[in-house]
Structure 1
Amino acid sequence: MAAKVRDIMTGSPTSVSPELDLVTVARAMRDEEIGAVLVADGDELMGVVTDRDLVIRGLAAGGDPKEAPVGRIASSGTVTVGPDDSLDRAAQIMRERSVRRLPVIEDGRPVGIVTLGDLARQGRTDSSRSNSSSVL
């Protein structure tokens, strides 16, 4: 039986409101030792913000990070997978879209996140073919 995303995903991903300021989000990421958060309005996924996004799209853009809402820098058009999708499908999406993280959506709400590292530990990536130098 093919392994499924639910078998390796990190469940209960950290989600933040799009109105939350960049400093608060950065501190949450530091405290939880994570590199990305889901930006959601209730159960509706609006995007993903990584630690790199905070620096490149947030701090480097200027303005007061205590006033800037994280929703402004969240990636839009975020690609997702379902918990019952195969690991091969998740790896294919990551290669095609050049992303390192995929939110896992079930019944319209975020239930997890699967990363390139998760797939690599399962032997589901081929770094010579993967073009995932950019992040979500």
Structure 2
Amino acid sequence: MPIENLARSDVVTAQEDDSVEELATHMEESHVGSIVVTDGDEPIGIVTDRDLATRVLGNGMDPSEATARDVMSDDPATVDHDAGFYQATEMMSEHGVRRLPVCNDSNELVGIITYDDLSELLADEHMHLADVIQAQRPEY
């Protein structure tokens, strides 16, 4: 199944010059732990709640003056929309990330897939497998 079918399409995005204060507020309001920084429709960076804690608070930056550009991880690892589940998990492992922006063939942002999303999918598949096995057990 293509990762695009598993990914969330409602990606929270920001611009490079948005203040980290705005980013934190947007994360809180949207109930997300990351924001993809875009230039047009292309992902150019990502800011996580951990980035805000370590790069802003940990470095004594003023949240009203620091911008996404100052704290984002630039050139984020992305996954193609038609990649599979295992390709996404390999990318996460290889790059040491828990979130992957999903891009189409034109490198435009079309979604985001997270480690939690993939874990939930695996848990659902395990439950389905358990149901199949349980249904095939002979009764004694």
Shorter-chain TM range is: 0.7 to 0.9
1:58 and 1:105 map into 2 onto residues whose CA distance is 28
Output the amino acid matched with 1:33: H
1:97 and 1:63 map into 2 onto residues whose CA distance is 27
The corresponding residue for 2:53 is 55
Question: What do the CA deviations read for 1:31-73 (whole angstroms, capped 9, x no partner)?
Answer: 0100000011222311110011011011221232101111111
1:97 and 1:22 map into 2 onto residues whose CA distance is 24
TM-score (norm 1): 0.84
SS in structure 2 opposite 1:90?
A: helix
1:43 and 1:4 map into 2 onto residues whose CA distance is 21
The corresponding residue for 1:131 is none
Question: What do the CA deviations read for 1:78-100 (whole angstroms, capped 9, x no partner)?
Answer: 11011110011001111111110
2:73 and 2:94 map into 1 onto residues whose CA distance is 17
1:9 pairs, out of 7, 10, 15, with 7
The corresponding residue for 2:111 is 112
- Give aligned pairs, total: 122
1:64 and 1:92 map into 2 onto residues whose CA distance is 36
Output the amino acid matched with 1:73: V
> What stretches of structure 2 of length at least 5 have no aligned partner?
124-140
Answer 1 or 2: which has greater helix percent.
2
2:111 and 2:30 map into 1 onto residues whose CA distance is 15
State yes or no: 1:76 paired with 2:74. Answer: yes
Deviation >2 Å, runs of 4+: none
SS in structure 2 opposite 1:114?
A: strand
The corresponding residue for 1:39 is 37
> What stretches of structure 1 of length at least 5 have no aligned partner?
125-136
TM-score (norm 2): 0.82
Identity of aligned residues (%): 34
Output the amino acid matched with 1:48: I
